[in-house]
A and B are shown apart, each in its own frame.
Chain A
Amino acid sequence: MKTRVLRYALLGAVLVSVIYLALGFGSRSFEAYCPFGGMEALWGLFQTREFTCALGPLNLSMFLAVLGLAFVAKKAFCGWACPIGFLSELAARLGGLFRKGARRPGPRLNERLKLLRYAALVVSLYFTYRLGELVLRGFDPFYIIFSGFGHGTLGWITYATLGVLVLGSLAVPMFFCRYLCPLGATLDPFSRLGFVKIVRNRELCTACGDCGAACPHDIRPQEMDAVRSRDCTNCLECVDACPEKGSLTLRATL
């Protein structure tokens, strides 16, 4: 069975659960489950031992769980559970961006644009900590989509933001995750340490490049012994794409 079927089943289950919560079923808002909310709550908790705005203990515990997960299996949360990552991936598949030969940004430009997610992290934490409110909800696709442009969105600015994200996702695979996700930026250093990773067997690998073409984040496993990249979500698309059985394997290694 292709791993993607299993992965999409889990991603679909999470997406349905979030929609269920967003429709008002369940005892908590869908926002209460956002791991990045835990990061945003830290300063308020440190200062006053109170949660900021609509954040609560579940945000913090989910954040710590996702951080722990990154220590073990890199950004597996992004590849296997994040609903925004799932929607981005579906958009990219819809746009045919994973076809071999599809145009992708060059490595240098890609690396430079990735710095934007650190800017997004700094800006979102600065304003949340400074104002004690989730003032950037109008720019957060998770909130915009699942609240249905709810309280705190910013009219045409929010529509424009979502428009840019949709168009970006149709042009560059995982546009938001690569360049703008503040949770992704937070997980980066932990993801580098993650010890469950994809390892290449040099003797079996023919360096055909199928793995690199299948990678949603433009990592090139054919050029490395082990995928230590901070961007790897352990989605296993590269393993599925590899024509040489046993050339790429999932291993627990330092």
Chain B
Amino acid sequence: MNVPRFFLPVLVIAALFGGYALRTSFTQPTAQASFGGEGSETLVCTVEGLKCKGTAGFFMKLYEGRPGIASIETFATEHRAVFTYDPSLVTPSDIRAIMEAPIPLRDGREVQVFRCAEMD
């Protein structure tokens, strides 16, 4: 069967858009951690500075041992973190303050690594 030439670009464009549309079927976190405890509320943050598995691991360390944080899932390519927390022990503004707190460097300077661009 003969195929018209314009079939190829149409097929390629369909594949690219199809691939883009299909992405939600494969959503898996870049890193995830459970810290124990019960969490009844969920907070979704868009986090500037969350770029890869390394930064995701560092990000989650900031919340280790913090009361009220039950679990965190990070999605680096979407720069997104999902917190499950106990609202009687921690508030969304506490969670934001922890991520935005300046980190001390070895040379004594402090840098802000993460910034919460959006909370939901």
Contacts and interface: CB of A to CB of B under 8 A. Distances in A.
A196 interface: yes
Given A49-B28, A81-B12, A234-B8, A61 B2 contact: no
Contact of A251 (B1, B8, B27, B53): B1
B76 interface: yes
A236 B2 contact: no
B36 to A, nearest CB: 20
A50 B28 contact: yes
Contacts of A209: none
B3 A10 contact: no
B9 A6 contact: yes
B58 to A, nearest CB: 14
Given A58-B20, A251-B2, A52 B53 contact: yes
Contacts of B9: 6-7, 10, 80
Given A3-B5, A27-B78, A251-B2, A56 B30 contact: yes
Interface in A183-205: 196
A136 to B, nearest CB: 15
Contacts of A60: 23, 26
Contact of B32 (A50, A58, A72): A50
Interface string A203-239: 0000000000000000000000000000000101001
Contacts of B77: 28-29, 32, 51, 54-59
Contacts of B12: 10, 69, 73, 76-77, 80-81
Interface string A67-80: 01100110011001
Nearest to A52: B53
A27 B12 CA distance: 23
A50 B4 CA distance: 42
Contacts of B2: 249-251
B29 to A, nearest CB: 6
A65 B22 contact: yes
Contacts of B27: 57
Contacts of A28: 77-78
Nearest to A37: B77
Interface in B13-30: 13, 15-16, 18-30
Contacts of B5: 3, 6, 236, 239, 250
Contacts of A250: 2-5, 7-8
B11 interface: yes
A51 B30 contact: yes
Given A196-B8, A250-B7, 7 more contacts: A53-B53, A54-B76, A56-B23, A56-B78, A61-B25, A62-B23, A73-B8
Interface of A: 3, 6-7, 10, 14, 27-29, 32, 35, 45, 49-66, 68-69, 72-73, 76-77, 80-81, 132-133, 196, 234, 236, 239, 249-253
Closest 4 CB pairs of A and B: A56-B77, A65-B19, A61-B22, A57-B26
16 contacts: A27-B78, A27-B79, A50-B28, A50-B30, A50-B31, A57-B26, A58-B19, A65-B18, A69-B11, A69-B12, A69-B15, A77-B15, A133-B54, A196-B7, A250-B2, A250-B5
